[in-house]
Chain A
Amino acid sequence: MSLAALQRRMARAVMTPLTPSEHMRPAAANGRSMREEAAAFIKPNDRLTSFERLEIYNRQYWWRILSSLAEDFPGLQAVLGEQRFGAMSKAYLSDCPSRTFTLRNLGSRLESWLRKHPKWAGSRQALALEMVRLEWADIEAFDREQKPPVQEGDLRGVPAPKLRLALQPYITLLDLRYPVDDLLLEVKKSGEKEFASNAFREHHKRKRVAAVARLKAARIWVAVHRSENSVYFRRLEREEFLMLRALGAGKTLGHAIDAAFRQSAVPAAERPAKIQHWFHHAAAIGWFCRPDRTATKDKS
């Protein structure tokens, strides 16, 4: 058997989902007995059969990727509950195995997958999707690039309406219908409380999630960003969000302001002060950088 054939064969077995009792399945996807399959390329020893030796790798693979996904999406786990989250994770990772060298990207396709497979979130699909978007933005904010912030000199000589600014790659702008930012912070905080028992924490989380799920949908606008190496969720005003989103999409400042106030209830007299305030704040924490060919993300 060639190296390529052996590796393909073993990888197929290792990545086959476990049984509910977390053992290797008795049959492979093609219906062949897994005992025969394992014996075809793995030697038994005096303590373990070929099947049992292969099973060690099969279990380690699933335990590793499941724990990694759970670590990255504690908010979604709270929304779905532990059992449903576990079942969803197995289904997602079967459909979307890791395709990069780092486990960091394991959840990169979770939002689109969950949209196509709504049964896993049941009645909480909308809340679950918003939580996934927030948690993925959290991952991105943690370690995406920080470009040199725009300096005053970069802006000199360009008329303000024609000015183009990009947003830092670590910023994600989210247009949400549930206050999932507050919920996620609570979930993370409860995970840190060592004095509380697991049962108490789970009970508290379930209550909080149920309370948020019952909330009447009300739009909120959030920037997920990083400052001094810590990730923050910053609530934005609607117009501020629209302006930043337009800038991030490569529009000029003039167009961005138009987009922000197109259907705005903010009185015209108050707008200049607001724009100035938003700009000062964003510039002060280094959100603006010079645009390049890569458009800044917009996940609204």
Chain B
Amino acid sequence: MPANKFNGFSEFGIGIGLRVPHYDHILSRKPTVDWFEIISENFMIDGGRPLYVLDKILEQYKVVQHGVSMYFGSAEKLNRDHLRRLKALVKRTKTPWLTDHLCWGSVDGRYTHDLLPMPYTFEAARIAAQKIREVRDFLEVPVAVENVSSYAEFHVSEMTEWQFLTEVVERADCGILLDVNNIYVSSQNHNFDPRAYVENIPAERVAQIHIAGHSKYRKYILDTHDHPVIDPVWRLYARAIERAGHTATLLEWDDRIPSFDEVHNEALKANKFLASASLAAAV
């Protein structure tokens, strides 16, 4: 199920996030990379170097848009100006699918610029699903939602996180951007079995997978995207691939960013698991 309606029936391999410290390397060396993921908000601007670089990248590479501020889970209405800008970017990049987080981050027009966790309630699922549908209809591109890492749980929750994710994506009929590092981080912070999460999500809806590193503190784990991927996360990835098939995979590295080659080589470790999944599917 690598290509499905949730990722525009595309067959992407292993990509990495497009980040400023790597611009010169990519533009001058033109390394072979399956695809780049861009943070949409960094390019929802009117001009200047970011758009120049993006256009150069688009001449040579496949690009998928990943957003950080749509806030599908917010109780407030969608921001129309945001959507119009996003649509202009979608036209520019021709992204085959678009992703953002299942979270919230603004209230009364004030933005926290964070990915705040959802209460796992049926009301929240209904609101989020409605918004995802609105966004997909407006942008005319498949949408997949990402599970976030979290540090708090709410008394009002009525189900587990994976049940909530399933409830939302089935109501919205959308895809999942499954972040296996986020599953691991949250499982450690909230004492649940991360395998149970991977086993129970609707695998046929997985449009893309995120892998990343994190930072471990004494009492909790923080999703910092500043380290290589650890073995337990690779094991979750392997199981996710077993269930979902050869899925577009993206390594996120956002802080203390090492050289392009180091980031790319870390991402390419996913090949080992993808090859096994392909073999299993063939047998």
Q: Contacts A2-B123, A101-B69 given: A15-B49 contact, CB under 8 Å?
A: no
CA distance A91 to B82 in the complex (A): 28
CA distance A230 to B47 in the complex (A): 12
Number of inter-chain CB pairs below 8 Å: 124
CA distance A180 to B51 in the complex (A): 29
Chain A 64-105 per-residue mask, 1 if CB under 8 angstroms from chain B, else 0 = 110010000000000000000000000000000111111110
CA distance A97 to B112 in the complex (A): 8
Looking at the assembled complex, report how far the CB atom of A110 sits from the nearest CB atom of chain B, in whole angstroms: 16
- Count residues on chain A whose CB falls below 8 Å from chain B CBs: 49
Interface presence of A61 (CB below 8 A): yes
CA distance A297 to B103 in the complex (A): 37
Looking at the assembled complex, report how far the CB atom of B209 sits from the nearest CB atom of chain A, in whole angstroms: 25
CA distance A64 to B69 in the complex (A): 15
Contact, CB under 8 Å: A57 / B45: no
Looking at the assembled complex, report how far the CB atom of B101 sits from the nearest CB atom of chain A, in whole angstroms: 13
Q: How large is the interface on B (under 10, 10 to 19, 20 to 34, 35 or more residues)?
A: 35 or more
Looking at the assembled complex, report how far the CB atom of A206 sits from the nearest CB atom of chain B, in whole angstroms: 29
Interface presence of A248 (CB below 8 A): no
Contact, CB under 8 Å: A48 / B41: no
CA distance A283 to B200 in the complex (A): 63
Chain A residues near B41: list those with CB within 8 A.
101-102
Docked complex: B105-125 residues within 8 A CB-CB of A? 106-114, 116, 119, 121, 123-124
Contact, CB under 8 Å: B151 / A47: no
Q: Contacts A56-B220, A145-B47, A169-B46 given: A64-B121 contact, CB under 8 Å?
A: no
Pick from B24-32, B153-161, B166-174, B237-245 the stretch touching chain A.
B153-161
Interface presence of B74 (CB below 8 A): yes
Contact, CB under 8 Å: B111 / A146: no
Contact, CB under 8 Å: B47 / A143: yes
Looking at the assembled complex, report how far the CB atom of A41 sits from the nearest CB atom of chain B, in whole angstroms: 6
Contact, CB under 8 Å: A14 / B116: yes
CA distance A101 to B109 in the complex (A): 9
Chain A residues near B79: list those with CB within 8 A.
101
Interface presence of A46 (CB below 8 A): yes
CA distance A102 to B51 in the complex (A): 16
Interface presence of B152 (CB below 8 A): yes
16 A-B pairs with CB atoms under 8 Å apart are A4-B75, A6-B119, A6-B154, A11-B107, A11-B112, A42-B155, A43-B152, A53-B153, A61-B114, A64-B114, A99-B110, A104-B45, A143-B46, A146-B47, A170-B47, A230-B49
Query: Could you tell me which A residues sit within 8 Å of B by CB distance?
Result: 1-4, 6-8, 10-12, 14-15, 40-43, 45-48, 50, 52-54, 56-57, 60-61, 64-65, 68, 97-104, 142-146, 169-170, 226, 229-230
